[in-house]
Amino acid sequence: MKKSKRDNIFSMETFLSHHKRFGLDPYYDALAGLIREKQAFLAHPAGNFLRYKQVVDAIADAFPSVKDIDAPAVRAGAASDISQKDWLLLKRLLMQLAPWRKGPFDLFGIHVDAEWRSDMKWNRVAPHLPDLNGMRILDIGSSNGYYMFRMAAGDPLFVLGLEPQSAFYYQYLAVQKFLGQKNVFCLPVAHEHLPPMNAFFDLVFLMGVLYHRRSPLDMLKDIHKTLKPSGHIVLENLILQGRNNLCLFPKDRYAKMRNVYFIPDLLAMESWLVRAGFRDVQILDVTRTSSEEQRKTDWIQTESLTDFLDPNEPDKTVEGYPGPVRAIFMARAG
């Protein structure tokens, strides 16, 4: 492997350079200002952004003999593509980007065994997706891009991820360095920092984000505005089982997470979507989170599901709330 001396061709500016083909002209100035601000910060990062940037900068170029974004483990390269020395160095650097929450990935034979088996969730969603060919897709809270890469296999015009967390953003850059997907981009910003882009996107992914928002209805209304009338939202959220139009609001933490606010039951979640302007609400899946899907691995170095549940009553969290059940919804904007 050879250390790269070129700029990342999947940089934020690259996304904007496609403004005519992507139809971004009405938002060009606002997006350009946002990107300039973020690039100025990333040129002289601090804290965890600096820590993870140094790791990604140390990852040398390699040229994968095989790429597969339509597989349970998103793959780039084989172990035989690089020397044993470079393989060990790459594995060490990738592990320094932990925690890897979403995956799995297979990078030159290195199995990145992420905390979440995201392929299991993808298999619940994929059969229900519309034809992605030529679509403009937004993935809010895109993490390291696992779902973006899976969607890219459907040949959308582009998938744009929004991921403000430093570890996940740099994991995306590390994977994209080898996959080189020209229709996948990511900005290290939160959804509320994206300029208004009314009736622009064909599909919005919102996976495991809404329960972290103090005002979930406002977020859904904002997303509705960004979608074309023919567009869809795919949303995964913690839910309470039942249809009583009720929500849980944890007193302090839920499953040791401090930033969890409203957990609706199925009918309440449907009501939120309808109140936000969506139609044709479908429940695609309801699944209790299991240790097969979410578990501690060498790639996270933190606690995971079994640590969040009451050991004597595993259907409850350590705080005594109902254990995590997640539902996937899809709805149409118009």
Q: How confident is the model at residue 7 (pLDDT cuts 50, 70, 90)?
A: very low
d(CA 207, CA 140): 8
* 1 has a pLDDT exceeding 90: no
The superfamily CATH assigns to domain 12-332 is Vaccinia Virus protein VP39 (3.40.50.150)
Exposed, middle or buried, 44 (CB in 10 Å: 0-12/13-18/19+)? exposed
Q: For residue 10, what pLDDT is reported? A: 55
Q: For residue 13, what pLDDT is reported? A: 86
81 touches 74 (CB < 8 A) = no
d(CA 123, CA 233): 17
Q: For residue 227, what pLDDT is reported? A: 98
Q: How confident is the model at residue 5 (pLDDT cuts 50, 70, 90)?
A: very low
* 223 has a pLDDT exceeding 70: yes
* 38 has a pLDDT exceeding 90: yes
Exposed, middle or buried, 21 (CB in 10 Å: 0-12/13-18/19+)? exposed
154 touches 132 (CB < 8 A) = yes
Give pLDDT tens digits for 109-141: 999 999 999 999 999 999 999 999 999 999 999
Give percent of the chain above pLDDT 70: 97
Give pLDDT tens digits for 54-75: 999 999 999 999 999 999 999 9
d(CA 331, CA 334): 9
Q: What is the mean pLDDT of residues 4-18?
A: 68
Mean pLDDT, the chain, whole residue set: 95
Give pLDDT tens digits for 16-28: 999 999 999 999 9
Give pLDDT tens digits for 274-304: 999 999 999 999 999 999 999 999 999 899 9
Q: For residue 11, what pLDDT is reported? A: 72
Exposed, middle or buried, 11 (CB in 10 Å: 0-12/13-18/19+)? middle
Give pLDDT tens digits for 71-115: 999 999 999 999 999 999 999 999 999 999 999 999 999 999 999
Q: What is the mean pLDDT of residues 209-213?
A: 98
Q: How confident is the model at residue 4 (pLDDT cuts 50, 70, 90)?
A: very low
Give pLDDT tens digits for 168-208: 999 999 999 999 999 999 999 999 999 999 999 999 999 99
Q: For residue 8, what pLDDT is reported? A: 47
In degrees to the nearest 10, what's the CA dihedral of 44, 46, 51, 57? -10
d(CA 320, CA 328): 24
Instruction: Kindly state the tokens that stand for 143.
Output: 């993490």
